[in-house]
Structure 1
Amino acid sequence: MSTSDLQSDSPVASEGEKTPLKLDIKVDSPQACLRHVVVTIPHAEVERYMRDAYDELVPEAQVPGFRAGRAPRKLVEKQFRDRVSDQVKSSLLMDSLSQVTDSAEFSAISEPDFDYESIELPEGGDFRYEFKVEVRPEFETPNWKELKLTRPSEEITDEAVEKAVKGLLGRNAQAEATDEPAAEGDSLLLTARFLSDGRVISEMDEERVQLTDRLSFSDGVCDNFGEALQGAREGDTRKAKVKISAEAPREDMRGKELDAEFTVVEVSRKQLPELTESYLREIGDFDSKEEFYEFVRSSLQRQVVYRQEQALRKQIVENLIGDAEWELPPDLVRRQTRRELDRKILELRRSGFDDDTVRRLVNTMRQNAQTQTEASLREHFVLEQIAEDEKVDATAEDYQQEIELIAEQSDMPVRRVRARLEKSGQMDALRNQIVERKVIEMITAAAEVSDEPQAEGQDDKEFAVYHNVLGTKETDSIPEAKHEDKSPKEKEEDKKKP
């Protein structure tokens, strides 16, 4: 822990400006990302603010027995002491905090943490208060030039496009209920109960899922889902196990295995539709089969670029961060977890991933939220410092391009996507995404990059739902991916929405 003293003398104020305060500022560094600040304002400065406040009040003060503004000053001071003291306290705090921010040798990333009501303005003596504030860690910008990097290369074959087309059509196909036993790929309408030692922890309302090997939740995964539900029929109840993630919100349940009881409400089987002109217009206003295939190929290409960027980013960050393991304030990590999820979702949307894949990846992030958030914060601090050094920032054109990509994948008007992002406060997440990508591109351009063919991996046979096994269901406020499983009637209703 380190301590530093800062003296803030009153410089000469310009005409019409308030004279700055004389301050004594002591700063402790209990952690790399936390500062403890003690501010002392001399009694003479407190008296100056009190005098100025009464100078403004006396000419207008209304005191019983006197005309407005005609009461003696001492009587005004006595009658309005409490009101003026609170006003002066507020002004002193606001002005001194502004000066601390301007003069301090740290970059705050949160608002000062103090209890306003507990701070008292003394009748005599200096005015002293203290607060904690989260800051960016201080470190020397690492050498980011001439790194040696490996970029995975993937070829988008016609077979890959055809497979992706079938996947999209399958998600949008009309499912028909069947009395046949459930088989891999079927759509199941399920309810579920989750139990620990026979006690119900939570229940899941009707949720439509695909019968695959695994079923993931926001805070756990059912590894034997496919085995348990294979051959099930409408009305059947099947038992399985759900393992809670090691970073679940409830510490007492982390890593535990719960009993799950899945009840099958309906088994449905899909038939892939034909790519007729009317169907192409219905699913995305495509003019031709060729245009639809080109859209799918473009989405796959963006996914390849995303995976390449992530692989390069991982190598770059490992080179730049090294052994930097700054201790991060728990409150900062908790607050940032939601923002990091929002940012990742935006990245996945603009990179062409379908809704099923986004849900699966988001659930993985939620199950490892603290570890991933801490890693992302460290990455952000390093990349942001490089961005500041090199004057890299997001432009209006960058925002527009990102929003257009999200709108295209979501099949929504650009204007509506922008409005939703602004309303949900996610423009900052979008800005960080843009800036960090630009820095990664800049570092990659200055690096020695060799391409390495990427072997085609096996499909990850997992379906995901946004449900907390230990609590309430979670949903995502980001526009959903294009070609989701909606009926023509639902799509027509969506078009009528403002």
Structure 2
Amino acid sequence: MSTSTESETTQVPEEKKPVQLEAKVESPSACLREVIVTIPHAEVERYLKDAYDEIVPEASVAGFRAGRAPRKLVEKQFRDRVREQVKGTLLMDSLAQVSENENFSAIGEPDFDFESIELPEEGDFKYQFSIEVRPDFETPTWKGLELSKPVEEISDDDVQESLERVLGRYATLEATDEAAELGDKLVVTIKFSDEGKFLSQIEEERITFCKRLSLSDGVIEDFGTLMKDVTEGETRTGKVKVSEGASIEAMRGKEIDAEITVIEVLKSELPKLTESFLEELGDFESEQELRGFVRDSLTRQADYRTQQSLRESVVEKLAGSADFELPESLVQRQTQRELQRKVLELRRSGFDEDNIRRFVNASRQNAKASTEAALREHFILEKIAEEENVDAEAGDYDAEIALIAQQSDMAERKVRARLEKSGQMDAIRNQIVERKVIEMIVEAAKVSEEKVEKSGGDEDDEFAVYHSVLATREEASIPEAKYEDNTPKAAEKETEKD
């Protein structure tokens, strides 16, 4: 006895018939394609017929029961709506078909004006779009490269110096009438102007008194000299050099005025490593455990610098076959994305917010060049990754998020949720894959180690502030960690709340 009646009567939906079309593709540059699509009028009529076939059985027309109106009347009443619907469907279907069939890999959305495209009454349906694509280049030979690997040794002096910087964030600050010295804290208000015209202002910002003060789009190179022996209540004037990567082209490289008023000079006293303070700092049971944590952070920072140096060497040797032009629009769109990716990478590598601010400001001041270099590196490494089947796995994401969480004030699950919401999981994936490819290339290379002699103290020569002197708002898009120390205190507290 057969029991297959239901399966025999079930209708299997027909596979959608592809659009008959012709696509003409031009390559004005390596990363850009201009595409002209031509769809025969017969295909337009087919899509219109299908659309009306779907609407007629349920159409409501005055004077007729639903679905009973003559087809000609339905077509007349719903003409505009159906034609607009068919235009959209034809565009989506044909775009998908062109992207699938043509020999390019899109990295952006098609650029065209939907409203300006018209579905013709007669003749072929034509439209044009541009799209950014991965550049086509020959994969460079990456096996057997000769590389020099810088090796840093973390000494007890390095740990002590870093520990003092960590403790400095918990120092007792006391206002003083004495003259400021390098390393003191200053509370300052800075007004920026150009030929007497007010541009922007920093209001009562606490900074560390260093030799150099960097901003999002400029720098006061002689800040230490300018503010030497300054006291509370004093106002001094100096010059800010606007960066070559500033948002306003006419201001690039120009020197503008900075009026700096010192609200307070603060002397600091480092806290004692008592049992209660160690517990407050991060539930450390001893000073030795705290020093071990600091050493681990320094080791991760050193590993990051080593990997960056190897990456630069690898890409420099492979870049010969990747000499292609990058569209200005692509560079502009990727600048902020690349900056955010770098911030995530620095956080997972153990750098504190002072270091990250310095990096962000330096990158912004030379945004175009640094983004172009990063894009070229990405295209080279991504192509090798595809050919060698290198990709990110679930465990890689978990490890990356755990390291980022350690430098923030959130539990790992909240870090993940925020990254997913902001669309930055793609950036995490890219840095995982690129790191794996670099490791694979290094494994296949002839590597000689070279001991690095650290100059020491350079990072204390500059303090960075997220502020654009030209009053743009780009600095707001770089999220800053609430806690600026290298301890897991914040993440642990957040976990306890959860």
1:208-264 deviation per Cα after TM superposition (whole angstroms, max 9, x unaligned): 100010000011110111111122222111111111111111100000111111111
How far residue 468 of structure 1 moved from its aligned partner, in angstroms, is 0.3
1:247-289 deviation per Cα after TM superposition (whole angstroms, max 9, x unaligned): 1111000001111111111111110101112112222232221
TM-score by length of 1: 0.93
Separation in 1 of the partners of 2:479 and 2:296? 21
* Counterpart in the other structure of 2:7: none
Separation in 2 of the partners of 1:411 and 1:152? 32
The letter of the residue matching 1:475 is A
Are positions 1:380 and 2:378 aligned together?
Answer: yes
* Counterpart in the other structure of 2:213: 215
* Counterpart in the other structure of 1:60: 58
The correspondence of residues 196-215 of structure 1 with structure 2, limited to 5 A, is 196-215=194-213
- Secondary structure at the aligned position of 2:407 is classed as helix
Q: 1:141 to 1:323 in 2, by over 3 A?
A: closer
* Counterpart in the other structure of 1:9: none
Are positions 1:468 and 2:463 aligned together?
Answer: no
Q: 1:485 to 1:349 in 2, by over 3 A?
A: closer
Separation in 2 of the partners of 1:493 and 1:161? 25
- Secondary structure at the aligned position of 2:150 is classed as strand
Q: 1:493 to 1:158 in 2, by over 3 A?
A: closer
The correspondence of residues 98-497 of structure 1 with structure 2, limited to 5 A, is 98-322=96-320, 324-460=322-458, 461-472=461-472, 474-475=475-476, 477-478=478-479, 480=481, 483-484=484-485
Separation in 2 of the partners of 1:190 and 1:492? 33
Separation in 1 of the partners of 2:391 and 2:435? 10
Q: Does the CA-based 8 Å contact 2:237-2:260 persist in structure 1?
A: yes
Separation in 2 of the partners of 1:157 and 1:432? 33
How far residue 420 of structure 1 moved from its aligned partner, in angstroms, is 1.6
Q: 1:465 to 1:144 in 2, by over 3 A?
A: same
The letter of the residue matching 1:304 is A
Greater alpha carbon shift after TM alignment, 426-435 vs 231-240: 231-240
Q: Does the CA-based 8 Å contact 1:172-1:485 persist in structure 2?
A: no
Separation in 2 of the partners of 1:62 and 1:267? 78
The letter of the residue matching 2:70 is P
Separation in 1 of the partners of 2:171 and 2:476? 24
- Secondary structure at the aligned position of 1:259 is classed as strand
* Counterpart in the other structure of 2:8: none
How far residue 475 of structure 1 moved from its aligned partner, in angstroms, is 3.4
The letter of the residue matching 2:446 is E
* Counterpart in the other structure of 1:81: 79
Structure 1's unaligned 5+ residue stretches are: 1-13
The letter of the residue matching 2:417 is A
- Runs of 4+ aligned structure 1 residues displaced above 3 Å come to 475-479, 481-486, 490-498
TM-score by length of 2: 0.93
How far residue 496 of structure 1 moved from its aligned partner, in angstroms, is 9.2
The letter of the residue matching 2:481 is E
- Secondary structure at the aligned position of 1:342 is classed as helix
Separation in 2 of the partners of 1:286 and 1:358? 25
* Counterpart in the other structure of 2:15: 17
Give the counterpart of 1:92 among 79, 90, 93: 90
Separation in 1 of the partners of 2:378 and 2:484? 33
How far residue 411 of structure 1 moved from its aligned partner, in angstroms, is 4.8
1:386-443 deviation per Cα after TM superposition (whole angstroms, max 9, x unaligned): 0000000000100000111111122531112112211221111111010000000000
- Secondary structure at the aligned position of 2:476 is classed as coil
Q: 1:495 to 1:257 in 2, by over 3 A?
A: farther
- Secondary structure at the aligned position of 1:243 is classed as strand
1:266-325 deviation per Cα after TM superposition (whole angstroms, max 9, x unaligned): 111110101112112222232221111111000010111111101110110011112633
Q: Does the CA-based 8 Å contact 1:23-1:42 persist in structure 2?
A: yes
Q: 1:246 to 1:173 in 2, by over 3 A?
A: same
Separation in 2 of the partners of 1:420 and 1:277? 35
Separation in 1 of the partners of 2:299 and 2:428? 21
The letter of the residue matching 1:275 is L
How far residue 171 of structure 1 moved from its aligned partner, in angstroms, is 2.2
The number of equivalent residue pairs is: 483
- Secondary structure at the aligned position of 1:391 is classed as coil
Q: 1:491 to 1:80 in 2, by over 3 A?
A: closer
